[in-house]
Structure 1
């Protein structure tokens, strides 16, 4: 009887997984054959870089508008067609308002309360609350804080000539983004280049590190057994990380309210939002941060009174996701821009000529307005984000039953149920020669005035698409441009004997990483 029961349970387990692993095939959608143990193995051991896995999903069925795929033990519908992507992420957004969230509600308040994880009306209210914090006028106010951090970086290397002979760029840029986020989001000043083991940087590394077997194993547990994780108390963030950021926010708010301190950073803006005093200010085209900047939807522009009061934990959650999104991800963007400039010295020289001309026109100073008018700088950043998109892939979760009508001869109408996941393989799209000829070539001319008008919005999505795009695109672009203007005005970025050229992507983590690190040097300009 015992073995019969075991056999029955195994049969049910196999049947359930067979049904799940063939979810889209059963709906008449093209889908590769997948195996449970192999899918788990791929996530745990990362047999190839995550970006390549995303690109493979895009290339599996090149003649289809969409196909079935699998991500973290969940069936996903992979979209390939630009019009279909636009239809689902923009026009019919009301059917796909949420992100895939593998962390059970109630297990980690600092995660489930942030803008990325919030769902439905809670997300709409918080988006409308936070959007005014990322307009051009607010970026202008934060520009001075960013510029100060960038100048500190340049001064450090001018005063430490030996250190600039060999720099691991990922370490360097994560320290820079750490200091930017510390001052612009948390109101904390630190210098992570000088004080290499400051607490803010250590905690930031702990919060954003997703490399290694056990980190990946935790992700699988969350996806496959979220209720078990909630019961046994497995948390997304280390308790030290949660306690640290809660303390920082609580102490800062208390000090500012007591001493009536105003500072142009995110804590101040969120404190203003809590009082209902933060309004959306439309930004003129001249103030935009660049071609890659995403446009805010009417949802973000609509002033709404949040139904529930904004708590200190809510403020901490928004500041923490700002850190989570901007610490490693934006640093990686900067690293890869530096890499491309180093291996393409002609592009670097042309960019330096533009920087020198702007500095000469402005008596050696860079202003918020002048940095946003630098066309070639914007072309270089735009092409970096094309070749190395910040969002390697994006997802949407269906919240109302939706049907994709058949268009091609081999298609059948596909009904997407509530809870089904849509996946957009951004990296695969950006590397498609149909849209970007010779896609492995770094070519900023793709984004000159003549060419960029021909780029479809749904074929260029470094910061996502539709109302649920990245709220911080202006911030990310500005902090990158500020530090490169500061560095390139004084230094050339050059390869060393330790530089890995061409770059070989590491299998570790979910972003672009190098197997041997990004080792380059800064050479003082004449």
Structure 2
């Protein structure tokens, strides 16, 4: 082939690749929606992919620049997304007109993976509704109350290990690493029915597999990006985002446990037991793989998020000694009421100031920076006065900027400050509906929010009652700006000093 022909073919190939990568870049212009110019491949997530910013900071900054628009365009890699900034419109889409937006957009390509495609968060339409109805009884107050003693066993081991590190009355720890072990043991016990002690055996298989599945770095980050930009590449190469051996490990773990319990009539108040009962009582014929998928999404959502919630709350208590002191006083009252008995689910829910602290943590940290929906049938959105705003088409992706709303001074005065009193009985009624949605909104909100709060309340109680949290030499000064990529952890970690109160 002549040199000129090579140049022509190469140029044509480059042009076609560029056109494919930027084919949606005029989407918002054609539909008269304001937007910010994207970069090829990464869209408006350039700084996140380049590890210069976090996804949360990107969403907050984008929201602040564009909050004057009720709807604004954002490029999630190649795909255009419509961000809804108006709380009343979020309410309409998530609740009133839910039937037009019943599904989430899968964050990865799961078509060829029955385990991932069977997760509640990814299921669609009637199949999702059937599974949601099946799972709802699993997360009732009564079921959480019965599960709480299993958590208490893990809390006991955690505090026992912490006290071993306080021979001189204080120690410095990286909170994320310390709490990840607790989160691992709680999920292993309450969701998968196995006993692990990650403080005594930090290299146990459940912990190692969990860590590798939830850390989106290196090759996983590359595969995640490709899955968003060109999922057909992974399919063609036969590559999956999650290592098959590791997902098979969870599959065997749950199925073997279910078979063993049914054969030996073993009953344990954990997630496997509750799912087995739900499966029997449901009119739907759920397969073992469907049940495993729910354990997997439970693990995937709880492992990292519950850990970050406890770390973030601890960081705020450390940074706000007056808040920590008031919480300590409430915990002391609870301890006296318990009279040397372990904390119970009902007693934990009596701690009003604890609720305020966790609600403010969820506001300021927004463990999930956003939540989403995808339009399933053409829909005309109107405002509060019933004036036409925009017509969504089937397949349009919609985002609700949780972190942006939470950090908007119009909704929360001095949003950078940590003020639990925002959520006092006297004040919480003044919060504008749908400006505070830490667990999402509507029928597709987080089904496990009660479980997450139960774990966080109890762990903070045991921490505060035993230790005073103080800054250490390694504590990151500007923790939000130290977070990078799609994770929620600062690069410098959640370092703090634990000072024994005994």
Corresponding residue for residue 248 of structure 1: 253
By how many angstroms is 1:31 displaced? 1.1
Distance, in Å, in 1 between the alignment partners of 2:339 and 2:21 is: 67
By how many angstroms is 1:50 displaced? 1.1
User: Is 1:377 aligned with 2:381?
Assistant: no
User: Is 1:305 aligned with 2:297?
Assistant: no
Which segment is superposed worse, 514-523 or 178-187? 514-523
Corresponding residue for residue 334 of structure 1: 310
User: Is 1:223 aligned with 2:228?
Assistant: yes
Task: Give the secondary structure class of the aligned counterpart of 1:76.
Answer: strand
Give 1:50's match in structure 2, choosing from 43, 50, 55: 55
Give the direction of change, closer, same or farther, for the CA distance of 1:26–1:60 in structure 2 (3 Å limit): farther
Corresponding residue for residue 398 of structure 1: 375
Post-superposition, which runs of at least 4 consecutive aligned residues in structure 1 deviate over 3 A? 1-19, 40-44, 102-106, 405-408, 504-509
Corresponding residue for residue 300 of structure 1: none
By how many angstroms is 1:2 displaced? 6.9
Which segment is superposed worse, 449-458 or 506-515? 506-515
By how many angstroms is 1:273 displaced? 1.7
Distance, in Å, in 1 between the alignment partners of 2:167 and 2:393 is: 60
For 1:354-503, what aligned pairs fall within 5 Å after superposition?
Answer: 354-365=330-341, 366-405=343-382, 413-503=389-479
Corresponding residue for residue 25 of structure 1: 29
Task: Give the secondary structure class of the aligned counterpart of 1:245.
Answer: helix
Corresponding residue for residue 512 of structure 1: 488
Give 1:264's match in structure 2, choosing from 262, 265, 269: 269
Task: Give the secondary structure class of the aligned counterpart of 2:366.
Answer: coil
Contact 2:479 2:490 in 1 (8 A): yes
Contact 1:69 1:78 in 2 (8 A): yes
- Kindly provide the CA deviation profile for residues 314-352 of structure 1, in whole angstroms up to 9, marking residues without a partner as x: 121110110100001110111010001111111111111
By how many angstroms is 1:413 displaced? 4.3
- Kindly provide the CA deviation profile for residues 58-101 of structure 1, in whole angstroms up to 9, marking residues without a partner as x: 12323211111111321000111010010111111111111111
Corresponding residue for residue 141 of structure 1: 146
Corresponding residue for residue 207 of structure 1: 213
- Kindly provide the CA deviation profile for residues 425-472 of structure 1, in whole angstroms up to 9, marking residues without a partner as x: 111110000111110100101011110011133101111111000000
Corresponding residue for residue 117 of structure 2: 112
Give the direction of change, closer, same or farther, for the CA distance of 1:101–1:406 in structure 2 (3 Å limit): same
- Kindly provide the CA deviation profile for residues 363-419 of structure 1, in whole angstroms up to 9, marking residues without a partner as x: 1332221110111011111110010112111111111111224789xx974221111
TM value normalised by structure 1? 0.89
- Kindly provide the CA deviation profile for residues 219-277 of structure 1, in whole angstroms up to 9, marking residues without a partner as x: 1211222223223211121122112111211221121111100000110011112211x
Give the direction of change, closer, same or farther, for the CA distance of 1:17–1:155 in structure 2 (3 Å limit): closer
By how many angstroms is 1:16 displaced? 5.1
Distance, in Å, in 1 between the alignment partners of 2:171 and 2:290 is: 43
Corresponding residue for residue 299 of structure 1: none
Give the direction of change, closer, same or farther, for the CA distance of 1:204–1:460 in structure 2 (3 Å limit): same
Distance, in Å, in 2 between the alignment partners of 1:160 and 1:216 is: 35
Task: Give the secondary structure class of the aligned counterpart of 2:468.
Answer: strand
Corresponding residue for residue 233 of structure 1: 238
Distance, in Å, in 1 between the alignment partners of 2:95 and 2:187 is: 30
Which segment is superposed worse, 151-160 or 7-16? 7-16
By how many angstroms is 1:215 displaced? 2.3
Runs of at least 5 residues in structure 2 that lack an aligned partner in the other structure:
none
By how many angstroms is 1:43 displaced? 4.9
Corresponding residue for residue 65 of structure 1: 70
Distance, in Å, in 1 between the alignment partners of 2:372 and 2:52 is: 22
Distance, in Å, in 1 between the alignment partners of 2:19 and 2:459 is: 55
Count of residue correspondences: 495
Distance, in Å, in 1 between the alignment partners of 2:30 and 2:167 is: 62
For 1:79-228, what aligned pairs fall within 5 Å after superposition?
Answer: 79-161=84-166, 165-212=171-218, 214-228=219-233
Q: What's the RMSD between the two structures over aligned residues? A: 2.2
Give 1:34's match in structure 2, choosing from 34, 38, 50: 38
